[in-house]
Chains A and B, each alone.
Chain A
Amino acid sequence: GQSLEQPSEVTAVEGAIVQINCTYQTSGFYGLSWYQQHDGGAPTFLSYNALDGLEETGRFSSFLSRSDSYGYLLLQELQMKDSASYFCAVRDRHNTGKLIFGQGTTLQVKP
């Protein structure tokens, strides 16, 4: 089957850097995505990595190592508004539109 593991909670202070890790087990790999979801809100796409390396988008970066079945989301210069749940996701092994989500990491940013 396919599964993803990520920490359930992370706490950091404003202005700091935080890394949210995601390890996955899949048969067939079509890239790793990250989504952000604020309480009461909808998931919002943050990034997608199909190849190894770091992708940077503003304060957020995402990294992938296919040989290690591992990726992470890096959030820099943390702001209070970054407090949210973060989900990593992979496409299912049949390469359909189905995303398999991790259980989510709740990030709490403190002043």
Chain B
Amino acid sequence: DTEVTQTPKHLVMGMTNKKSLKCEQHMGHRAMYWYKQKAKKPPELMFVYSYEKLSINESVPSRFSPECPNSSLLNLHLHALQPEDSALYLCASSQDRGNEQFFGPGTRLTVL
């Protein structure tokens, strides 16, 4: 299985809502990532988990809260988001700090 899955595919939420994005991989990768991507821009790193521990937080606002329940799962909890947080949220995984990152299809998030 060489796939990273993400749910949901699309999400529309109000600024007072709480929602979660989910990511799963079964490739035995020990590094997992959350990226945010705006249209016509490169992916922008948010968080890195290495061996289930948060190793990088790119000064992301606290309204985004990552969680890594086990080596296959990665969640991103969302609360009190702003309209400018609307974007494609991508999950990725890699072997340790590998250069080949496998990306999931993303969650298209719209904040109203």
Contacts and interface: CB of A to CB of B under 8 A. Distances in A.
B33 A97 contact: yes
Interface string A45-56: 100101000000
B48 A87 contact: no
Contact of B104 (A42, A45, A87, A102): A42
Nearest to B30: A97
Nearest to A45: B100
A98 interface: yes
User: Chain A contact residues (Cβ within 8 angstroms of B): what range?
Assistant: 20 to 34
Given A96-B48, A97-B31, A98-B56, A45 B102 contact: yes
Nearest to A44: B103
Contacts of B97: 91, 95-97
A30 B106 CA distance: 27
Contacts of A30: 99
Contacts of B45: 98-99
A31 B100 CA distance: 11
A58 to B, nearest CB: 16
Contact of A104 (B42, B92, B94, B99): B42
Interface string B33-53: 100000011110100101000
A35 to B, nearest CB: 8
Given A97-B94, A97-B97, A99-B101, 8 more contacts: A42-B90, A42-B105, A43-B92, A96-B48, A96-B55, A97-B98, A101-B43, A104-B40
Interface in B77-112: 90, 92, 94, 96-106
